[in-house]
Structure 1
Amino acid sequence: MVKITSAKEVLLDQLAACHDEESWFKSSKTILDDLSVAEAVWKTEGHPHSIWEIANHLIYWNEMWLSRFINEDMIESRKINNEETFELDRLKLTEESWRTTIRQLSNGFAEWRDIIANCEVSKLERRIPSYFNAPWWNVVSNLCIHNAYHIGQMMFLKKLVRLG
């Protein structure tokens, strides 16, 4: 008999692949852990963002959706232009600050995994009227796809910076 995988198991698998388990693509942890600050801020012509800026973008969206998942009544206090989520404080380009960014991204994935592992399935099935009436499992799955897309960009940039 074939066991049907639950939405919760799929989401946990997607989050693990994005965070720290090798899958069809390199995890964010594998890509980021050995990068220097210089590599993290490097940009190539034709690509508007550095690895560090992409990490900031992922942190913003992962934390924003996690906050909404925890507190569905949360209303965004400030509308943000998506480009602002990539911002990098050029005055804080230190090894310590880069390590803090990596930890923050990693902690976000760990928090998501913990929340999903411990939530009721009914929570994942609940719809979000203010967001296309989408069920939570769909939103979290798309968040994972968003992460995977940008993790691919980071891997590409890492390869380019190390070639040059």
Structure 2
Amino acid sequence: MNTMATDLLLIQKDDTWDQCNWIVPLAKALEGLTAEQAAWIPPSGGLSIWQLVNHMYYYNNRLLYRIQGTTPSQPAADDNVSTFGDSGDPLNTDGWNQVIQDTHSVSAELRAQIASLQQSDLEAPYMNTEEKLGHELARWVLHDAYHAGQIVLLRRQQGSWNIVF
């Protein structure tokens, strides 16, 4: 069997988005989450789930534009901290539902873009760096898996997590 790098990236993308294999994927970590739960901040401090999703969406959206070779529609964030935004409004169900919808949409678009890539695309420079696009994509998948784990931990702390495996 000749496995291409794009095949491996798609397996990783699927496993971190909605396939329950070795880790809890992001879509499952977010499933059934209310605006109130998403806006909750642990008593010891930290980030809300809403903020983590904002952060992932920001970077996923920018990555999508870069893979497509276009300029992101939103201006670049001042710094990494600003990508998290505020903790969210526990009463804003419509706002939370929109965040979830946008997250699902960008995930599907990213998957389609990755599926369309050729090996030569993965070897191409990422933006104006010496880094290769394939390397950047592999790191991005790990980034989303890391934050999905944080979301599961926050849900466990607030008592809103049911094991999905």
Distance 2:127 2:35 in 1: 41
Secondary structure in 1 matching 2:28:
helix
Q: How does 1:107-122 map to 2 (within 5 A)?
A: 107-122=105-120
Shift of 1:92: 8.4
Q: Which blocks of at least 5 consecutive residues in structure 1 are unaligned?
A: none
Identity %: 26
Quote the residue 1:56 is aligned against. Answer: 54
Conserved 8 A contact 1:18-1:147: yes
Aligned length: 159
Provide the TM-score with structure 2 as the length reference: 0.86
Q: How does 1:13-162 map to 2 (within 5 A)?
A: 13-71=11-69, 74=71, 77-88=75-86, 90=88, 93-128=91-126, 130-131=128-129, 133-162=130-159
Distance 2:22 2:140 in 1: 17
Aligned-CA RMSD value: 2.1
Name the CA shift for 1:93/1:148 in 2 (closer, same or farther; >3 Å): same
Are 2:4 and 1:6 equivalent residues in the alignment? Answer: yes
Distance 2:98 2:145 in 1: 21
Runs of 4+ in 1 over 6 A off after TM superposition: none
Decide which structure has greater helix share. 1
Conserved 8 A contact 1:19-1:106: no
Distance 1:157 1:135 in 2: 34
Conserved 8 A contact 2:51-2:86: yes
Q: Which blocks of at least 5 consecutive residues in structure 2 are unaligned?
A: 161-165
